[in-house]
A and B are shown apart, each in its own frame.
Chain A
Amino acid sequence: MKKVLFALVFVVLVSMVLAAGIPSWDEVVAKAKKEGKVVWYGYGAEWDKMFYKSLAKEFEKEYGIKVEYVHGSWFDAIQKLIAEKKAGKKVSSFDLVFTWSVPFKQAWDAGVVWKYPIAYVVPNARNVVDAGLLEYTDMIPTHGTFLPFVWWQVAFLYNKEKVKDPPKSLDDLLDWVKKHPGRFTYSDPNKGGSGHTFLITIIEWLYGYDKYYGAECTEDVVKSWYKKSPKGYSLWEYLNELEKYMYQPGTYPAGNSAAMELFARGIVWLEPQWLDVTAEWVKEGRVDPNIVGMYIPEPTIDAGGFDGLFIPAKAPHKYAAMVLANFLLSKKVQKDLVVKRGGIYPVVKGVWEEIPESVKNQPYYVPLEEVTKNLWFRHGECMEKAMKLWVDEVVRK
């Protein structure tokens, strides 16, 4: 029912836009230049901030539109937009907000997202690697109001010096962990994305990806995590069994970096980890690149998050925001993300092929084909519910 409703809303939206006439892109750019300014809100690590700021400068040079980049937390951005709406402000403080699926949903539910299918107006959006990304992010419906911008990816990180036989598939993981007690860990899912991406991957692997693809995360789905899966374990049984042989059972690294730290010190030999976090550590000289090996086990590890951009309903510079979004999805910027920022895959087609071998061969990159062979998406809603339950069902037991 809910889905039908969404579909209806979407159809209405699109027809409204069509009726009003989608402006030609040249028109959009012209109007953007007239607006002359755009406020872009981003979040992430400090090295992300530096990178986004450099992108803002490039954009200014190319279009002559001033970019004010504001770096904060995603919570803050949504909180501020909602507060401004409550206060009855005519214009919001931001024109383009970079965020991820769960806060996007909060923003959507609070009615602060501009309900205009920008995904079908911005030209570069046509090139995104998977058309589904224009309608969903982490399987949360976006109705074309959200553009993917950065493709983060989790893979298995293993110590090449110590481990010659990392588990090829998730089916072999438990056996491997039993044979190497104390050498596997994953980040606390509530404190690091590598942890919750691992968690949702395990769910989809245990119970079947098709059960989750495009489905809602109902009570029944949550209840199924307490029942045996086709693999013979329930979700919680599996995780608790895994925990017995993990590094320091009952304690989980408090975040991606803490997990990475254990790896870098040669204590943990195998863990799910972000490519970009690994890249940053290699670049910062905090982990010996000779021990870094990364791969995607069978069947896969969920792709993303595909963190992206939306325009707030009351944004004062909407055209400039669209032009900036288009710029961020350009091949050039996406290539920079891969080459300069590192540990990221491009969200548009035709970029990965152009990346020099010297970059692709870095220890923190996995060939893109390994990821796309079985392209699974995270289920944002289930992921959020599982994260909360994980505390009670795994750590506390």
Chain B
Amino acid sequence: MEAGKFERLKLFLYMLPLIGFYSVMFITPIVLIFLQSLGLYSLGHMGETHFTLEYYKKFFELGGTYMHALWFSTWNSAVAALIIAVLAYLMALFFHFIEFKGKKIVTAIYKIPLFIPYLISAFAWWTLLTPGGYIQRFLAWLGIIGETTQLVNDKFGIGIIVANVWINLPYMVVLLVGALKMIDPSIIEASRTLGAGFWSTVKNVIFPLTIPSFIAGSLLVFIGMFGAFSVPFILGGSWPKYMSITIYEDVVDRGEWGVGSVQAVVYMIAAVLIAYLYTKIMRGMRGGGERA
């Protein structure tokens, strides 16, 4: 059914509130940030505006604050995403293939972190991992770490990784359980009747079928952590810092809107890139545009 001109106008009118809202509340600020990053607009309502690449130069200065922040937020979030991927896969297999009494309760409980504000989760982990906190004490008692070892506000962002895993794991599990449900049970049945054990079925049959969800989910989890503010704010150290923190400090503490905007632009490019990859993978999975 190809829509006629009038029909198209009607469709457009239906979508107008949505388009209007995002034009004002989302696209406008992004455009302004982009202009500010080039010196063509002043977000801070001060000073003259003229074209300059000064802020970009500042950002891309090798060994400078911002390259470090970008690198740190990238690798730190990637490590967390990797841990999440592995743990979530195991959990998803568990929930999908095993029936047991009380499963309903467990499946409800594991989703709780999804709905707890980041700030609270970060803070909870801060109290556990700070020297003298329960987990820090326990690890020190086991002799894994020293009595005074810092697991929060440290150079490696250990606290950030732990809290991020806790927060994002359930999302990945939900996603993977969904992907496992889409696998035709008869395929698994076939593999089993052909004499394959459970783990070899997972390896040879199930895993290849869930790769797209696996990657797509990991991408979303990654970008969420990469740009999050609360977790690195509470658990991050003096150095290095997440880029979300350096943006906040530049803008809020020092009024340096220019370089703050460049960082925001970098975040947006990363986000659009990931959104693109995500939709591409999802479309491939749906098999030529057919929605699951």
Contact = CB atoms under 8 A, between A and B. Distances in A.
Given A254-B237, A395-B238, A267 B131 contact: yes
A267 to B, nearest CB: 5
A200 B130 CA distance: 28
B153 A252 contact: yes
A199 to B, nearest CB: 13
Interface stretch (A29-37, A112-120, A258-266, A354-362): A258-266
Given A82-B45, A83-B45, A267-B148, A251 B236 contact: no
A261 B150 CA distance: 12
Contacts of A83: 45
Interface string B96-113: 000000000000000000
Contacts of B178: none
A248 to B, nearest CB: 5
A106 B45 contact: no
Contacts of B45: 82-83, 86
Given A75-B252, A75-B253, A254 B148 contact: no
A262 B155 contact: no
Nearest to A190: B238
Contact of A182 (B65, B148, B255): B148
A178 interface: no
B238 A261 contact: no
Interface in A175-233: 182, 188, 190-191
B148 A252 contact: no
Interface string B154-178: 1100000000000000000000000
**Interface of A: prevailing SS:** loop
A251 B237 contact: yes
B60 interface: no
Contacts of B249: 190
Interface in A14-60: none
A83 B46 CA distance: 10
A332 interface: no
Interface residues on B, range: 20 to 34
B238 A188 contact: yes
A391 interface: yes
A265 B238 contact: no
Interface residues of A, number: 27
Given A75-B253, A265-B132, A248 B150 contact: yes
A322 B187 CA distance: 81
A258 B27 CA distance: 39
B191 interface: no
A155 B18 CA distance: 57
Contacts of A75: 252-253
Contacts of A252: 153, 237-238
Contacts of A261: 130-132
25 contacts: A75-B253, A83-B45, A182-B148, A190-B249, A191-B238, A247-B148, A250-B155, A251-B238, A252-B153, A252-B237, A253-B153, A254-B153, A254-B237, A258-B153, A261-B130, A261-B131, A265-B131, A266-B132, A267-B147, A267-B148, A391-B65, A391-B239, A392-B65, A395-B238, A396-B239
Given A83-B45, A110-B46, A254-B236, 15 more contacts: A248-B154, A251-B153, A251-B237, A251-B238, A252-B153, A253-B153, A254-B153, A254-B238, A261-B131, A265-B130, A265-B131, A266-B132, A267-B147, A267-B148, A392-B65
Interface of B: 45-46, 65, 130-132, 147-150, 153-155, 236-239, 249, 252-253, 255
